[in-house]
Chains A and B, each alone.
Chain A
């Protein structure tokens, strides 16, 4: 990357089941205004808007970026829409960052959203396809067999997923923006929740949320014009792979490993567990924490669940590498925004602005998103220092 860029403003909405008080425009506007205010900027300070959301079927508004230009102060400016399914929040942040790093724009506003209450994600992801058996049972139906294979291979205890479900919900209690605020959460409560897609229980799955997340990303030259501490973008990478090919490693996809290798090389990360202070990783179903711990090199293959069970990823247990201090996707899932929330929460940690879920003195954090049939990956490394 040629030029240095940093996150100078972050804005989110409170994630919740339904935001019936606002339109889609009102929802993205709220996050955008929060980001602008955080950055101490106004619309005229922004060169371009980079917008992301998951498939249009989630709200049934085709090309919503066109209708949202007014709300995002983008009339007369470039508007770019990014689309990589569930990873889109991460990819959108990276597309925004790369437009600053390349010198094309000096300061961009990047916004992602989902207003899931306008539709039903289970339906939108389970459409009948002509000539095919109609057996797609949502995202959980797709990922459950892959999780089952992970459990078989790694000999993980049956409750490793339950542990993640509890841990992330305990984290959410420290984050007032998180959708799920389950004060009584416990291993027993998760285990007793209904089985949806065996081996995934209801409380091991993410909720459906309305919400938006926005960031202002500025060129090094303009960083000082914003009052807050910047989060410097030290590395960013995306990878993809086909969903269906013979011999595909579905439990720990190649594209994820390659993407991590790339972003670590850019940021000088050699031992992720030691070098990062925390990570915000896309875990929509509990078992994806141990799976991604391995895929991202925080644990040896087959050993990710040991880290989870030891409390290493828990803020409450004083773990050395807390994952998803914000509560993660398991606690708030406005799908199109979920990846960007990971990236923004990583940035909040290194800016020291994560309030009650702050990891003390965090200097380096990983933001991660994946999407589709685990075929799209987006990751960034942010730091409190430039390098």
Chain B
């Protein structure tokens, strides 16, 4: 079996990459322990919880790290403390809490036995950072009940005295936790070859040498044998409806209006189906085995995407119906 290098996977094409963001506006229920910590932040107070061994754990944890018992005894600690370890961030990114160079520090608050991780602002001056240095919380002006109520820590022996304001009456039980991951997705050789053909308005499947089955879209190797799909086989832009569903709810992030028909389509010449939209047909008239053809976007709009095909619609000639 040949290695999956360029020569073994057929024609070499330009690498295709696309930026891709995966994210959601998650929410968290905090539970009573973390909720109490976040509620205290709004009042400019730091609290910890007493562990089974007498240690004061800050931020508080719900369950004892040693005995696993539920922890409930809260302890007030200071908003000042000592740096037990740190590292310098010379080039902050847009996601960092400070836009100029700063330190990430492990800070043991006065009265606590475990350190909390946060940013330390020395106005960009790394030479001020020392293990053992005294720091204090720089509080936000208007508190929200999340960890960002601590803007950062800053050098100082005593509290700043500037505690945050807030208008909340109820304790914190929920918090927003929006999370976004930015990817640079690279299509890979087999997909790139396929997309270059789609760019030209052609559906070109792939099969393994000596293999029986043509894959549209190709996945680089035959799922049954693992052999690379190096051979290209042009398929028609005519397909058979293998099955379908009429979807009555919107797809998150997709402007398409329900109800719409999503069909599993087997292109003539292919051995595995893909999903795409059916349109220009009465939804009630769609049936398994129906013959359909691609409706392409205008050529000038073609890119490296299956979206070059806007949708599929029934073949209009009677003789084309009823199978391949």
A-side residues, CB < 8 A to B, are: 18-23, 25-26, 29, 43, 57, 59-60, 70-75, 115, 117-120, 122-124, 126-128, 130-137, 140-141, 144-146, 148-149, 152, 194-200, 242, 244-248
Contacts and interface: CB of A to CB of B under 8 A. Distances in A.
A123 B23 CA distance: 10
B24 A198 contact: no
A247 B288 contact: no
B109 to A, nearest CB: 20
Contacts of B63: 25, 29, 70-71, 73
B64 A70 contact: yes
21 contacts: A23-B62, A26-B32, A26-B62, A70-B61, A118-B26, A127-B22, A128-B20, A130-B185, A145-B242, A145-B262, A148-B244, A148-B288, A149-B242, A196-B247, A197-B246, A198-B246, A242-B223, A244-B215, A244-B272, A246-B272, A248-B272
Contact of A60 (B67, B177, B307): B177
Chain B interface: which size bin? Answer: 35 or more
A26 B31 contact: yes
B251 A246 contact: no
B260 to A, nearest CB: 9
A70 B65 contact: yes
A146 B247 CA distance: 14
Contact of A198 (B33, B215, B248): B248
A198 B31 contact: no
A43 B26 CA distance: 32
A128 to B, nearest CB: 6
Interface string B124-157: 0000000000000000000000000000000000
Nearest to B191: A131
A136 B34 CA distance: 36
Given A25-B63, A244-B223, A245-B222, 10 more contacts: A71-B63, A73-B63, A118-B27, A120-B252, A128-B254, A132-B305, A133-B307, A141-B245, A194-B248, A196-B247
Contact of B223 (A75, A115, A117, A245): A245
Nearest to A23: B31
Interface string B59-74: 0011111111010000
Contacts of B20: 128, 130
B279 interface: no
Contacts of B18: 130-131
A194 B289 CA distance: 27
A241 to B, nearest CB: 9
Nearest to B183: A130
Contacts of A71: 62-63, 68
B276 interface: yes
Contacts of B204: none
Given A21-B29, A22-B29, A124-B24, A137 B247 contact: yes
B187 interface: yes
Contact of A75 (B68, B191, B276): B68
Contacts of A60: 24, 26, 177, 179
Contacts of A244: 215, 219, 223, 272
Most buried by A among B64, B288, B304: B288
Nearest to A153: B288
Contacts of B275: 133, 135-136
B62 A145 contact: no
Contacts of B244: 145, 148
B123 interface: no
Listed from nearest, the 3 A-B pairs whose CB atoms lie closest are A23-B31, A73-B68, A145-B243
Given A23-B30, A26-B62, A131 B306 contact: yes
Interface in B24-74: 24, 26-34, 61-68, 70
Contacts of A127: 22
Contacts of A194: 248
Contact of A131 (B173, B187, B246): B187
B243 A118 contact: no
B78 to A, nearest CB: 25
Contacts of B320: none
Given A70-B64, A124-B24, A135 B277 contact: yes
Given A137-B251, A144-B245, A119 B31 contact: no
A198 B263 CA distance: 12
B170 interface: no
B277 A133 contact: yes
A122 B251 CA distance: 8
Most buried by A among B26, B27, B29, B223: B29
A246 B224 contact: yes
A247 B30 contact: no
A73 B66 CA distance: 8
